[in-house]
Amino acid sequence: MRLQYRLVNVFTRHGEPLSGNPLCVFEDGNGLDAAQMQALARQFNLSETTFVLPCAQADARVRIFTPTYEMPFAGHPTLGTAHVVRSLVNCGDRVTLELPIGPIPLVAQGDQWELRANAGTTRAPRASHAEIAAALGLDQSDLAGAALWVDSGSEQLIVPLADEATVRRVRISIDALRHVTQDGPRAQVYVFSGSGGDTLCSRFFFSQGESVVEDPATGSATANLGGWFLANGVRLPTTRFISQGEMAGRPSRLRLRIDARRDVFVAGEVIELGRGYVEWSPP
pLDDT digits (tens, 9 = 90+) for 113-167: 999 999 999 999 999 999 999 999 999 999 999 999 999 999 999 999 999 999 9
At residue 213, the pLDDT reads 93
| In contact, 277 and 4? CB cutoff 8 Å | yes
pLDDT per residue over 9-56, tens digit each? 999 999 999 999 999 999 999 999 999 999 999 999 999 999 999 999
Same domain, 42 and 140: no
User: Are 78 and 143 in the same domain?
Assistant: no
| Domain interval for residue 37 | 2-117+269-279
pLDDT at 209: 81
What mean pLDDT comes out for the span 55-78? 96
Tell me which of 27, 48, 155, 164 is the catalytic residue: 48
Give Dmax (Cα) for the chain. 57
Write out pLDDT tens, residues 160-215. Answer: 999 999 999 999 989 999 999 999 999 999 999 999 899 999 999 999 888 899 99
Phi, then psi, of 253 in degrees rounded to 5: -135, 125
C-alpha 168/C-alpha 122 separation (Å) is: 26
Q: Catalytic site residue 210?
A: no
Is the same domain home to 232 and 141? yes
In a shared domain, residues 173 and 214: yes
End-to-end Cα distance, the chain: 12
**Domain co-membership, 21 together with 103:** yes
Q: The pTM is what?
A: 0.96
* Same domain, yes or no: 21 and 154: no
> Do both 131 and 246 map to the same domain?
yes
Answer yes or no: do 79 and 171 share one domain. Answer: no
pLDDT grade for 283, boundaries at 50, 70 and 90: confident
Nearest residue to 8 via CA among 48, 68, 63, 59: 48
Q: Are residues 93 and 212 in the same domain?
A: no
Our measurement of the distance from residue 147's CA atom to the centroid of its chain's CA atoms, rounded to an integer in Å, reads: 19
Does position 282 have pLDDT exceeding 80, yes or no?
A: no
- In this structure, are 129 and 255 located in the same domain? yes
Is pLDDT at 108 greater than 90 in this prediction?
Answer: yes
What's the pLDDT score for residue 55? 95
- Report the pLDDT value the prediction gives residue 18, as an integer from 0 to 100: 96
**Are 89 and 139 found together in one domain?**
no
CA distance 55 to 278: 23
Count of the separate structural domains present in the chain = 2
Specify whether 89 is located in the same domain as 127: no
Question: What CA–CA distance (Å, rounded) separates 264 from 153?
Answer: 12
pLDDT at 90 over 90: no
Q: What is the CATH number of the domain that holds 174?
A: 3.10.310.10
pLDDT per position as a tens digit, 230-272: 999 999 999 999 999 999 999 999 999 999 999 999 999 999 9
